[in-house]
Amino acid sequence: MSLQANATTQGATTFAQCGKPEQTLFRLSAGVPVSDALEYASDLLSCANGMTLLATHGDNTEQCAMAAHYLSEMGKAVIDDVTTALLRVEAGHDH
């Protein structure tokens, strides 16, 4: 059985800094199977990749760049939370 089989997101990762540097707007949900979370992160990063290409051409380049930034931030938050979950399982703290 892989480490990933029973691991779920921790809900510890926050993102979208706003206002004060230590203030974030969003937190990942706990309890999502890591395989589902990683699939979603892949989708977010794929969209961000597409937006960066659009940002290099034509109109609305600033909006495309900002959209890519937000999508990348969300994808990174998912990966960070999954990493925390997998490290906890590997260390024997969960499941």
Position 40, amino acid = Y
Say what the pTM is. Answer: 0.88
Q: Give the residue-averaged pLDDT of 76-91.
A: 95
**Predicted local distance difference test score (pLDDT) of residue 40:** 97
pLDDT at 58: 75
Distance, CA of 9 to CA of 22 (rounded, Å): 22
d(CA 72, CA 27): 15
